[in-house]
Chain A
Amino acid sequence: NAGVTQTPKFQVLKTGQSMTLQCAQDMNHNSMYWYRQDPGMGLRLIYYSASEGTTDKGEVPNGYNVSRLNKREFSLRLESAAPSQTSVYFCATRRDTAYEQYFGPGTRLTVT
């Protein structure tokens, strides 16, 4: 079991470029999340999906879009990257009726 996987591990973008971060899980969890982590600010929720076909905004959704392709996959898209989006991005999952979340290894994104 791979758990939660994320691709790519590292990415450098120029301002204005677009890219999609991929997340996949084999835990059969319905809920999936995207967070960003910046120094001194903990983890902030960007978007989440409670089940296939549904997505909801979190605390910091501006500049991002998401797609819940199926139960396994949840992608995060930056349409026009900005330096303020330089961060480490984590995908997470949660099983129903439980609170704890399981995180992927992260994607370190730099926008120049």
Chain B
Amino acid sequence: GQQVMQIPQYQHVQEGEDFTTYCNSSTTLSNIQWYKQRPGGHPVFLIQLVKSGEVKKQKRLTFQFGEAKKNSSLHITATQTTDVGTYFCAGPVGGGYNKLIFGAGTRLAVHP
């Protein structure tokens, strides 16, 4: 069945260092979404990428969708303690809107 894999599972960095998490799908995706979950919280939608090769930025966060629309990455420049949490990618199951399949997430710890 369709799978979405994320690496690494866990990363800890010193505050100010950069961080990247990678997402790979077993199938071509019509779009990919990224969510952030703070410790003890719930997933919150960050962004959606739709076009092949698309790059979007939100302040220190850069999101990229691969040319083949099967992989994506999230890069955080100069991490801050507020970046702590788990980052999930998700893609639609099949072609429709109805269901998403989530990666297992990358947990980011930032040491001051």
Contacts and interface: CB of A to CB of B under 8 A. Distances in A.
Interface residues of A, number: 24
B42 A90 contact: yes
Nearest to B107: A40
Interface residues of B, number: 22
> Taking chain A's interface residues, is the majority helix, strand, or loop, or is none over half, making it mixed?
loop
A2 interface: no
Contact of A58 (B31, B92, B99): B99
Interface string B36-66: 0000011111001000000000000000000
A94 B62 CA distance: 25
A85 to B, nearest CB: 19
Given A101-B45, A103-B44, A45 B99 contact: yes
B82 interface: no
Contacts of A43: 43, 88, 90, 102
Interface string A19-41: 00000000000010000000011
Nearest to A45: B99
Contacts of A31: 97-98
